Amino acid sequence: MAFARAVRRPIGVFYYSVSSRFSSGNEYSTVASKFETLSQYKSSVPSGYTSLVRGFGNFIRSFSSEAPPAVSDQMSLIKQLRERTSAPIKDVKASLVECNWDLEAAQKDLRKRGKVLASKKSSRTAAEGMLAVAQNEGKVAVIELNCETDFVARNEIFQYLALGMAKHALLVESSSQQVSGVFPFGPELFEEFKLNLDHPKVNGETTVSNAVTEVAAIMGENVKFRRGFLMSKSSAGVLSAYLHTSPQPGLGRIAGIVSLEVEGENTQLEAIQRVGSELAMHVVAAKPLFLSKDLVSSEAMANEREILKSQAESTGKNQMAIEKIVEGRLRKYFEEVALMEQKFIVNDAINIKTLVDNLSKEVGSPVKVTDFLRVEVGEGIERLEASDEPVAQTA
């Protein structure tokens, strides 16, 4: 009670002084006299109460000096940080409040928050995403960058990263000494590669792993590099690529790549490239598993033969008839899984072997398909999860 009276009395004196200032005609003399009255009162107050009042006043003044900026300034800072980072507004405001509305400090804090969040989400299923393809004179690289939703897959920051990763994948060196063929690689080989990014939201030199984590933080989803493939050609070869469901050049959800080889010097590359592009499109549509029937694996052949034999035996026919049924259905199986035996999707009157033979006649040199590759976003992820294996593994 004594403290409360000690506080109220100086406030009352101050109020009386100020009000008298505006009611008196002699402003300066009145103010001077009131300050004299206040000084006299101050000297009559016990020293303990004076220090308490002074401490309370200092506390109020210090609190006022750290007050947040005006609402309009807050909105401006939120907008600036949002434009810099593309982070959710909720996280942007939280970082600004945490850092006393310091824009630079809040940006650093936001990146730390994002990396922690990305780490927490890394175990979530990421079956959506994009394939990115890059090509130079002798190689084609395709990488799969996964995310959780199609919405993020359409984001231009996500797509920028995927294209940048594909271009750098051309620098991957095959561990084998093969001159041509398909070389698969996974995160363990590629994630420490250096990227030089030049995007308003993600820029500077960093590793693939750090760039993926940063984009995951911006997107608020699990983003991961799953796998990549590098296809090389021989000196007399041609590489052709086709992307299905492509939002922009170099990106798509399904990729088909075909390698053609021409014997001798041939100047009719336009015809070869035309057929190569058609074959890459065919690979996407027809989903071949093997290049030719001679390359069908013994395991696949044994499994299919067992299934076909079981089906034929259910007809109740004799053993000789059953064998004929099995052989006939095996030919049909080859037409489904072996590229060279498949019907051409553009003209189903011919198969791929006939198409390539016709091309050889057209260019005047033997042409052959040496390799092909078909990749689809998310393929195999459900199977990997069902067997409790890591999601992001090379197929």
Res 29: pLDDT: 44
The CATH number of whichever domain residue 167 belongs to comes to: 3.30.479.20
The answer to whether 141 touches 229, Cβ cutoff 8 Å, is: yes
Name, in order, each residue with C-beta under 8 angstroms of 228's C-beta and a sequence gap of 6 or more: 141, 142, 143, 144, 165, 169, 172, 184, 185, 186, 190, 394
154 is in which domain, residue-wise? 124-232
Q: What's the average model confidence in pLDDT over 26-31?
A: 44
**In this structure, are 105 and 140 located in the same domain?**
no
**In this structure, are 217 and 137 located in the same domain?**
yes
Q: What's the average model confidence in pLDDT over 114-122?
A: 63
Instruction: Name the more confident of 354 and 36.
Output: 354
CA atoms within 13 A on the CB side of 281: 12
Res 376: pLDDT: 97
Q: Which of 214, 232, 250 is the last residue of a domain?
A: 232
Q: Which of 187, 215, 232 is the last residue of a domain?
A: 232
Res 54: pLDDT: 52
Q: pLDDT class for 16, splitting at 50, 70, 90?
A: very low
How far is the C-alpha of 56 from the C-alpha of 39, rounded, in Å? 19
Tokens of 30: 């009145």
| Helices and strands in the chain, H and E counts | 15, 10
Name the domain count of the chain.
2
How confident is the model over 219-248, as pLDDT tens digits? 888 999 999 999 998 878 899 999 999 999
- Tracing tokens 């890591």 back to the chain, one arrives at 390
How confident is the model over 194-221, as pLDDT tens digits? 999 988 888 889 999 989 988 988 888 8
Res 313: pLDDT: 85
Least confident of 99-113, 168-182, 381-395: 381-395
Q: pLDDT class for 179, splitting at 50, 70, 90?
A: low
Q: At residue 19, does pLDDT exceed 60?
A: no
Q: Which of 202, 232, 262 is the last residue of a domain?
A: 232
How confident is the model over 257-287, as pLDDT tens digits? 999 999 877 678 889 999 999 999 999 999 9
Inter-CA distances, 158 with 141, 256, 368, Å: 18, 22, 37
How far is the C-alpha of 308 from the C-alpha of 323, rounded, in Å? 10
- Tracing tokens 């791929």 back to the chain, one arrives at 352
Name which of 380, 374, 131 is nearest 245 in CA terms. 131
Q: pLDDT class for 332, splitting at 50, 70, 90?
A: very high
